[in-house]
Amino acid sequence: MKKVAIVGGTGYTGVELLRILARHPEVKVSAITSRSEAGRQVSDIYPSLRGEFDLAFSEPNNEILSQADLVFFATPNGVAMQQARVLLDAGTKVVDLAADFRLQDIDVWSHWYGMEHACADLVEEAVYGLPEVNRQAITKARLVANPGCYPTAVQIGLLPLLEQGLINRQHIIADCKSGVSGAGRGAAVGSLLCEAGDSFKAYGVAGHRHLPEIKERLAIASGAPIGLTFVPHLTPMIRGIHATIYAQAQDAIDLHSLQAAYEARYANHGFVDVMPLGSHPETRSVRGSNICRVALHQPQGEDTLVILSAIDNLVKGAAGQAVHNMNLMLGLAENAGLDIMPLSP
């Protein structure tokens, strides 16, 4: 059995990691840390895990963490970069679910996250953890940057088109909606039921922290800078991201050929479901699973393509993708612990 530890286990991604790892056939959780809840049993805070873990939260301790084969950082931005080097030097692999290692441009990262980066050299080493792009590199990595939730949904929706130069890369619109759990577990007025329930709003229109990540990764996929308008929205649901992506085709559209291109691109990636033409993926159809469902449309037969992409923000958009990366890094079966059917209703 491989030993893994979780730093910052009291948030939604932390409990989602525990939910998935509880049924992982080849992994044991050896430690889970929380400064605020140290000494309390995991099941006291998350009764859903009662009987699954006889484990208490502990203070972060690098000596204990370094005994694990891999450590997940389910922490706020700026934490993993302070601790990763010690663990890596001890031979422990790291998956960071925050944004510390996602952007290659350190100046851009500092601008968007409002702090100086603590280990620029590790940013150069870190592998961006989107398995649908970097599967082989992830298998050799000791440090993986888990992608953001919005960037995951948008990239999977656009990769086949950008990689083959099939759309105008300067005119892309990503209109994305997220459930409230994407805001995290911390108390905030905007996440209160009376504020978010029975309502719908855009936010971060002038600029969202996931924008530079999406642009950087799509530029790598296309081989040139891209023009992107990205607008996130908050919806009155708990889980899920739905991305409606608009792109202009470079040439006359043969929708059936594009469908075949998508199916071929993701044929060996079991967590992407390319649905039949005309389908409408729903967030409820991926709830609780590590699946991204994608569908293509050509409204009114004109030159605009509409790509629909749906994920569970806490699974494929966070903890599930992190476990997928862990499996690759530790040489385990790629889908181990992740063969989870979506919940319905």
Q: What is the pLDDT of residues 315-342, one digit of tens each?
A: 999 999 999 999 999 999 999 999 999 9
Is residue 149 among the annotated active site residues?
yes
Only one residue has tokens 């100046």, namely 107
Q: pLDDT tens, 219-242?
A: 999 999 999 999 999 999 999 999
Enter the tokens of residue 131: 């398995």
Quick check: 259 and 176 in contact, CB under 8 A? no
What residue type is 42 in one-letter code? V
d(CA 1, CA 56): 20
Q: Which segments of the chain belong to CATH 3.30.360.10?
A: 150-313
Q: pLDDT tens, 246-292?
A: 999 988 889 999 999 999 999 999 999 999 999 999 999 999 999 99
Q: Which segments of the chain belong to CATH 3.40.50.720?
A: 2-125
Query: pTM for this one?
Result: 0.96
Q: pLDDT tens, 14-62?
A: 999 999 999 999 999 999 999 888 989 999 999 999 999 889 999 989 9
Give me the architecture of the 150-313 domain, per CATH: 2-Layer Sandwich (3.30)
d(CA 46, CA 91): 31
What is the strand order of the sheet 127-128 is part of?
27-33, 2-7, 70-73, 93-96, 143-145, 127-128
- Annotated active-site residue in 149, 176, 194, 292: 149
Please tell me the class of the 2-125 domain: alpha beta
